[in-house]
Amino acid sequence: MKTAYLGIDTSNYTTSAAVWLLTEGRVLSQKQLLPVDANAKGLRQSDAVFAHVKQLADVIRRLCEQEDFSLRGVCASTAPRPVSGSYMPAFLVGKMAAETAAALLRVPFYTCSHQEGHIMAALYSANALFLRREPFYAFHVSGGTTECLRVTPTEGLFSIEKLAGTLDLNAGQLIDRVGVTLGLRFPCGAELDRMAQAYGRPLRAKPSMEGLNAHFSGAQNQCERLLSLGGSREETARYAIEYVCAAVDEMTARVMEAYGKLPVVYAGGVMSNSLCRDRLTKKYGGYFAEAAFSSDNAAGVALIGAIKDGVI
């Protein structure tokens, strides 16, 4: 039977579980979005916790049905970011399930942050696991986080230092708010991306910056104004996406100017956007995860469990 490490991630807005198959260096993964009412712009934490409790067992059951494996360790994400005070109740669901499974199976239990899981999943998906042994920049761009990080290898995993970020809205919040305004269902990223690509003419957005950091709230106002002046839904969607791309582009350029050039990894759900990926790849040759591993998932969490157990 195949030896594996289980990873569980219960973030907003996805229940996810994955196993890292040790001998094959391969990931099996299952996930399910949390239910959000039509026209809603998010979930309260209490509702997210309840939804994870309802969904997690089924997600793990589907994972176990894919292949036979024997667990050697279990890892869960327990906080949004690896910094003091980072906390979100939704992660307690995954922690409880993972810790219980480890105790019953008498295998080690490990923890990491949601952000570390995103970075590791991106490295795996982009065939760039070699980067974990050298310094690199990592962008974590999602509904809950918009940060550029300097990642430095350590004996256990890696250390993370924030270099730049948002000064108001996160990039994913901008996309979801504009999407809901356009009548899309939350979360809106994938549908807004398709709508933006339907707008065929060139469109330029200039991000508002302060030093290395970006503002996103002004872009929401600009999108609402564009729509009120008769702009099409496709043009409005394209402007929102172009603004995010331009902001991440400018943050990358300014970080490299301030701290020097290093490889860049782009992670988080927003970075699965095709327009951003094309633009940033051409300019910086960055490493991007496939869409399934860029949005919330537990693949990186499972892999971190194996790393912390010292087997890779």
Q: How far is CA 281 from CA 19, 97, 165, 256, in A?
A: 29, 38, 20, 15
Mean pLDDT of the chain: 95
Give the whole-angstrom CA distance, residue 147 versus residue 132.
18
Residue-level pLDDT at 261: 96
Peptide bond into 13 cis (omega under 30): yes
Calculate mean pLDDT across residues 238-261.
97
Residue 39 has pLDDT above 90, yes or no: no
Tokens coding 143: 């509904």
Domain 2-126+296-308 part of CATH 3.30.420.40:
yes
For the chain, residues classed under CATH 3.30.420.40 are 2-126+296-308, 164-288
Give the architecture-level CATH label for domain 164-288. 2-Layer Sandwich (3.30)
Q: Pick the closest to residue 111 from 95, 87, 89, 93 (CA basis).
A: 95
Q: How far is CA 168 from CA 208, 215, 216, 227, in A?
A: 11, 6, 6, 22
Per-residue pLDDT band at 38 (split at 50, 70, 90): confident
**Identity of the residue numbered 234:** E
Higher per-residue confidence, 237 vs 41: 237
Residue-level pLDDT at 1: 84
46-68 pLDDT, tens digit each: 999 999 999 999 999 999 999 99
The answer to whether residues 273 and 244 touch, using CB atoms and an 8 Å cutoff, is: yes
Calculate mean pLDDT across residues 20-36.
95
177-215 pLDDT, tens digit each: 999 999 998 889 989 999 999 998 889 999 999 999 999
Residue-level pLDDT at 33: 94
The phi-psi region of residue 164 (left if phi > 0; otherwise alpha if psi is between -120 and 50; otherwise beta) is beta
Q: How far is CA 43 from CA 79, 153, 295, in A?
A: 17, 35, 17
Residue 127 has pLDDT above 90, yes or no: yes
Residue-level pLDDT at 236: 97
Q: Which residues contact 79 (CB under 8 A, 6 or more apart)?
A: 86, 87, 88, 91, 113, 114
Pairing relationship of beta strands 158-165 and 146-153 according to DSSP bridges: antiparallel
147-178 pLDDT, tens digit each: 999 999 998 899 999 999 999 999 999 999 99
